[in-house]
């Protein structure tokens, strides 16, 4: 089943602390008045430009296996390859903030308004991740509504380009998901347009299937470590539910 997601701008409102972190400003730092002014201007531009949309499509393990194998360029061993065969539910997804954010960014750079451009970009990056987070929670909620015994389960997302899943995997993901319905397309270099978009797979199953040691070759080169953050968030949600 393919579902178009009803995402409102308020659903993807970026968290200020995360935006500031993107800008390299520590949470305990004093923000200058000039930066506050730029932040407010970026917030207004963001609000007038964002048009979030999303799409989600259930797939079987076999269908995802074909998507995941892509063009055969994944790392030999990856967390996703271990997790998805053990998942109880799987869904491909894509979310986007729409084309106007990109146009606004281009306009800021063209006007050499770098501070505004970077602040808006940081907001949009956080918002795109927020859109994916919202989609993840809604997917989990929908599964529960469909009777999924999720007392010890969680849905987490994984994306091509990360954790050894090669970016070329986008081709089959797009062919199966058809996110053109929300205005999202793929370039010849496997990049999404509009830029502020996230795609991937939601894998739902017992908490245990999502845990993996960050000891793969590519983990050594990874400084984002978002897998750790997401696993911590999953554990926190689990504690909250208990």
Partner 1 sequence: MTILTDISAAIMAGDDAGVSDRTRQAIAQRIPLKTILDEGLIAGMTVVGDRFRDHDIFLPDVLLAARAMYAGMDLLKPLLVGEGIPSAGTVVIGSVRGDLHDIGKNLVGIMLRGAGFDVIDLGHDVAPARMVETARDRGAAVIGMSALLTTTMPAMREVVELLKKERLDARVRTIVGGAPVTEAFARSIGADAYAFDAANAVDVVKELVGRR
Could you list the residues that contact partner 1 (CB under 8 A)?
Answer: 23-26, 29, 31-32, 34-35, 38-39, 109, 112-115, 117-119, 121, 161-162, 164, 166-167, 187, 189-192, 195, 218, 221-224
Q: Compare residues 62 and 220 and give the one whose CB is closer to partner 1.
A: 220
Nearest distance, CB of residue 119 and partner 1, angstroms: 6
Q: Compare residues 161 and 206 and give the one whose CB is closer to partner 1.
A: 161
Are 55 and 91 contacting, i.e. CB atoms less than 8 angstroms apart? no
Q: Compare residues 62 and 223 and give the one whose CB is closer to partner 1.
A: 223
- Compute the distance between CA of residue 231 and CA of residue 163 in angstroms, rounded to an integer: 14
Nearest distance, CB of residue 41 and partner 1, angstroms: 11
Residue 230's alpha-carbon distances to 22, 102, 148, 222, in angstroms, are 17, 27, 21, 15
Q: Compare residues 26 and 240 and give the one whose CB is closer to partner 1.
A: 26
Nearest distance, CB of residue 77 and partner 1, angstroms: 14
- Compute the distance between CA of residue 14 and CA of residue 28 in angstroms, rounded to an integer: 19
Nearest distance, CB of residue 218 and partner 1, angstroms: 5
Q: Compare residues 56 and 116 and give the one whose CB is closer to partner 1.
A: 116
How is 157-180 classified by DSSP, letter by letter? Answer: EE-TTSTT--GGGHHHHHHHH-GG
Nearest distance, CB of residue 50 and partner 1, angstroms: 18
Nearest distance, CB of residue 110 and partner 1, angstroms: 12
Nearest distance, CB of residue 187 and partner 1, angstroms: 8
Q: Compare residues 196 and 210 and give the one whose CB is closer to partner 1.
A: 196
Q: Compare residues 73 and 211 and give the one whose CB is closer to partner 1.
A: 73
Q: Which residue from 4, 240, 233, 2 is spatially nearest to 130, judged by alpha carbons?
A: 233
| Residues facing residue 202 across a β-bridge | 91, 157
Q: Which residue from 222, 109, 229, 121 is spatially nearest to 163, judged by alpha carbons?
A: 222
Q: Which residue from 174, 94, 114, 124 is spatially nearest to 15, judged by alpha carbons?
A: 124
Are 55 and 4 contacting, i.e. CB atoms less than 8 angstroms apart? yes
């Amino acid at each position: 089943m393919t579902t178009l997601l009803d995402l409102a701008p308020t659903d993807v409102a970026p968290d200020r602390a995360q935006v500031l972190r993107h800008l390299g400003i520590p949470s305990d730092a004093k923000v200058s008045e000039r930066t506050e002014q730029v932040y407010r201007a970026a917030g207004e531009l963001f609000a007038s430009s964002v048009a979030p949309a999303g799409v989600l499509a259930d797939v079987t393990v076999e269908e995802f296996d074909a998507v995941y194998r892509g063009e055969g360029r994944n790392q030999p061993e990856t967390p996703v390859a271990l997790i998805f065969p053990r998942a109880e539910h799987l869904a491909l997804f894509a979310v986007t903030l729409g084309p106007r954010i990109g146009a606004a960014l281009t306009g800021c750079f063209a006007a050499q308004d770098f501070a505004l451009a970077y602040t808006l970009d940081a907001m949009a990056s956080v918002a795109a991740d927020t859109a994916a987070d919202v989609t993840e929670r809604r997917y989990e909620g929908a599964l529960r509504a469909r009777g999924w015994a999720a007392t010890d389960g969680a849905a987490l997302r994984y994306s091509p380009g990360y954790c050894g899943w090669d970016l070329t995997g986008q081709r089959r993901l797009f062919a199966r998901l058809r996110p053109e319905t929300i205005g999202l397309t793929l370039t010849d270099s496997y990049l999404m347009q509009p830029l502020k978009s996230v795609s991937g797979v939601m894998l739902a199953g017992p908490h245990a299937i999502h845990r993996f040691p960050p000891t793969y070759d590519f983990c050594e080169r990874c400084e984002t470590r978002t897998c750790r953050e997401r696993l911590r968030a999953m554990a926190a949600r689990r504690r909250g539910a208990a």
